[in-house]
Chains A and B, each alone.
Chain A
Amino acid sequence: MTKKRQLLLAIAIFVWVVACKQITEHVTPKAPNDDEILDGPVEGLSSVEKQQFLAGDVAFNGEVFFSGNGLGPYFVATSCGSCHAGDGKGHPFTTLTRFGQSDTLGNKYLNLGGPQLQNRAISGFDPEWIPVGASFSQFTPPANTGLGFLEALTDAQILMNADPNDLDGDGISGRPNYVNAPSYFLPQPYHQQRGGKYIGRFGKKAAAIDLLHQTANAYQQDMGITSDFNPYEPAMNGMAYPYFDNVPDPEVPATTVHNVVFYLRTLKAPIQRSQSDADVLAGKQLFMNIKCGSCHIPQWTTPSTNINALSGKTFFPYTDLLLHDMGSGLDDGYTEGTALTSEWRTPPLWGLGLSMNSQGRNYFLMHDGRATSIRQAIELHGGEAENSKGQFMNLSESDKAKLIKFLESL
Chain B
Amino acid sequence: MKQVLILFFALIQYSAFAQIDSTLFKRVEKRDTTLKLNMDAVYNRPFLQVGKVPVAFGGYVEANSNYMVTDGVTEGLSFQMRRLTLFVSSSIGRRIKFLSELEFEDGTKEINIEFAAVDIEFHPLVNLRGGVIMNPIGAFNQNHDGPKWEFIDRPISATTIIPSTWSNVGFGLWGKYSKNNWAFAYEAYLTNGFDDRIINNAENRTWLPASKTNPERFEESFNGVPLTTLKSALKHRKIGEIGLSWMGGVYNKFEEDGLVLDKRRRVDLFAIDFNTFVKKKTYFNGEWVWAFVDVPETFSQQFGNKQKGAFLDIVHPILRRTILGFEKAVLNVALRLEYADYNVGTFRETDGDIRDDIYAVVPGISFRPYPQTVIRANYRYHWQTDILGNPASKTAGFQFGFSSYF
Contacts and interface: CB of A to CB of B under 8 A. Distances in A.
Contacts of A78: 204, 300, 302
B196 interface: yes
Interface stretch (A88-96, A104-112, A326-334, A374-382): A88-96
Contacts of A121: 298-299
Interface stretch (B118-126, B137-145, B151-159, B385-393): B385-393
Contacts of A69: 202
A29 B70 contact: yes
A66 B201 contact: yes
Contacts of B108: none
A183 B355 CA distance: 41
A383 B154 CA distance: 60
Nearest to A28: B69
A91 B388 contact: yes
Contact of B388 (A2, A13, A16, A85): A85
A28 to B, nearest CB: 4
B383 to A, nearest CB: 9
Interface in B359-406: 377, 379, 381, 386-391, 394-398, 400
B389 to A, nearest CB: 4
Contacts of B325: 1-2, 5
A171 interface: no
Interface stretch (A195-203, A345-353, A356-364): A356-364
Interface string B233-271: 000000000000000000010000000011000000000
A79 interface: yes
Contacts of A17: 400
A-B complex: 10 closest residue pairs judged by Cβ atoms: A31-B72, A360-B388, A29-B394, A28-B69, A92-B349, A360-B389, A64-B204, A66-B200, A28-B396, A64-B202
Contact of A92 (B199, B350, B389, B394): B350
B214 to A, nearest CB: 11
A68 interface: yes
A322 B302 CA distance: 35
Interface in B50-73: 67-73
Interface of B: 67-74, 196-197, 199-204, 252, 261-262, 296, 298-302, 324-325, 347, 349-350, 352, 355, 377, 379, 381, 386-391, 394-398, 400
A66 B261 contact: no
Contacts of B300: 75, 77-78, 120
B390 A357 contact: yes
Interface string A24-62: 100111111000000000000000000000000000000
Nearest to B204: A64
A122 B397 contact: no
Contacts of A2: 325
A8 interface: yes
A24 B262 contact: no
Contact of A122 (B204, B299, B352): B299
Given A31-B71, A122-B200, A357 B391 contact: yes
B300 to A, nearest CB: 5
A29 B71 contact: yes
Interface stretch (A123-131, A233-241, A281-289, A386-394): A123-131
B72 A82 contact: no
5 contacts: A8-B324, A24-B397, A86-B390, A93-B387, A120-B300
A16 B376 CA distance: 11
